[in-house]
Amino acid sequence: MKVIVAASQTGGHINPGIAIANKIKDENKDAEIVFIGTKRGLENDLVPRAGYKLRTIEAYGIERRFSIENIKKMLKTLRGFGEAKKILKEEKPDIVIGTGGFICGPVLLEASKMKIPTMLHESNAFPGVTVKLLAKRVDTILIGFEDARERISGAKNIVLTGTPTKFNEREFSQDEKEEFLKENGLVSNKTLILVFGGSQGARPINLALEDIIAKKLNKEYQILWSVGKSQYDIIKEQLQEKNIDIENIENVKVVPYIYDMQKAMAVANLIVCRSGAMTITEVSIAGRPAIFVPLSFAAENHQEYNAKVLANVGAAKIIHDNEINGDSLNKLIEETIADKEKLIQMGKNAKKIVMKDVEDKIYDEIKKLLNK
């Protein structure tokens, strides 16, 4: 079996692609898998690290406004269609799988023209433009949330599978949790708020946290704050200007990045974060209550729709970029953690949307498509 996976730019697109590739290799040791991406995104790090070959084409997201820069991107993306066709002819895949983002446009459209079986995975509750444009052309669309189904029109076959993730449903022992807290200079007898904004951080969330720390508002709770690798030195300097030592803040541990996010979520009593599809999936698997801050300029406002998936089952609250500051976030945190029983119930509610056997379901659909 030879498979091409089109995945580019963000971890939210690339990691599901890698998870699908890993499942294929688990089931078929002789399978050959090649990724197609761009020269600019995280795929250049994540794909080779996962052990897969990466080929690249020119492709860009097109903004809905007239500009010289936009025209240049359109022309480069048009070249990308030819590049995709060339790669497909050279690699001769049995199936082409896309995991969202603009890279899927050239790759899956050319594969469809060449009568190669095509599959597209949409992890967001509100499908992106590329998915809508390809809906009538690809053979199968896999969705991460049921909410996405009614927002895709003209598709030949839509299957709810969930979104593949590195998280698994496991329980951490009390000793493991205590060790994690100790490693981060935190205590077990105080409510823990886990705050993060993705690998690069989220500026509105970070600014609100700076304000909470400067005003010492977090008297009722402690914070584990992952600020993002690119933001750490900036925030360190900004806190220094307020005479705050980033390594010595009462009830707060600040880190650039959390590598064992599943354990961090398991230890936390409440999570404050963005609402990308992968994050929603992982929060639900962890069974934790959350306060989501949807990325305000995300395409199609999809992070808002993702957040509502958990908010609608009573597992999360939402605060927007234009509403968040130290005082408003602190108030929402205090209100949420005040009722311990309700907090626990929110976590249980998060589990309601967990999809079981995601990779198995996806692999079953791959086999069905290949056996048609």
- Domain 2-163+356-370: give its CATH code: 3.40.50.2000
- For the chain, what is the mean pLDDT? 91
Short-list 290, 231, 228, 288, CA closest to 258 = 228
Describe the strand order of the beta sheet including 192-196 as a list of residue ranges.
Answer: 252-255, 222-226, 192-196, 270-273, 290-292, 316-318
Between 88 and 46, the higher pLDDT residue? 88
What does the pLDDT read at residue 68?
67
Confidence tier at 200 by pLDDT (50, 70, 90): low
What does the pLDDT read at residue 302?
84
DSSP 189: T
Could you state, in order of their start, the residue ranges of all structural domains in the chain? Answer: 2-163+356-370, 174-353
Instruction: Determine which of 64-68, 261-265, 311-315, 339-343 has the lowest per-residue pLDDT on average.
Output: 64-68
Using the predicted structure, report yes or no on whether residue 159 has a pLDDT greater than 70: yes
HEC string of 219-231 equals CCCEEEEECCCCC
What does the pLDDT read at residue 63?
59
Find the mean pLDDT for residues 265-289: 95
74-119 pLDDT, tens digit each: 666 678 789 999 999 999 999 999 997 789 999 999 999 999 999 9
* pTM score, whole prediction: 0.86
- The sign of the dihedral angle between the CA atoms of 19, 20, 21, 22 is positive
Greatest mean pLDDT among 10-19, 39-48, 102-111: 102-111
Using the predicted structure, report yes or no on whether residue 66 has a pLDDT greater than 80: no
Cβ atoms of 228 and 201 closer than 8 Å: yes
Confidence tier at 67 by pLDDT (50, 70, 90): low
Strands 158-160 and 192-196: unpaired
Using the predicted structure, report yes or no on whether residue 287 has a pLDDT greater than 60: yes
Find the mean pLDDT for residues 130-145: 93
Confidence tier at 178 by pLDDT (50, 70, 90): very high
Q: Which CATH class is domain 174-353?
A: alpha beta
2-163+356-370 and 174-353 have identical folds: yes
What does the pLDDT read at residue 197?
84
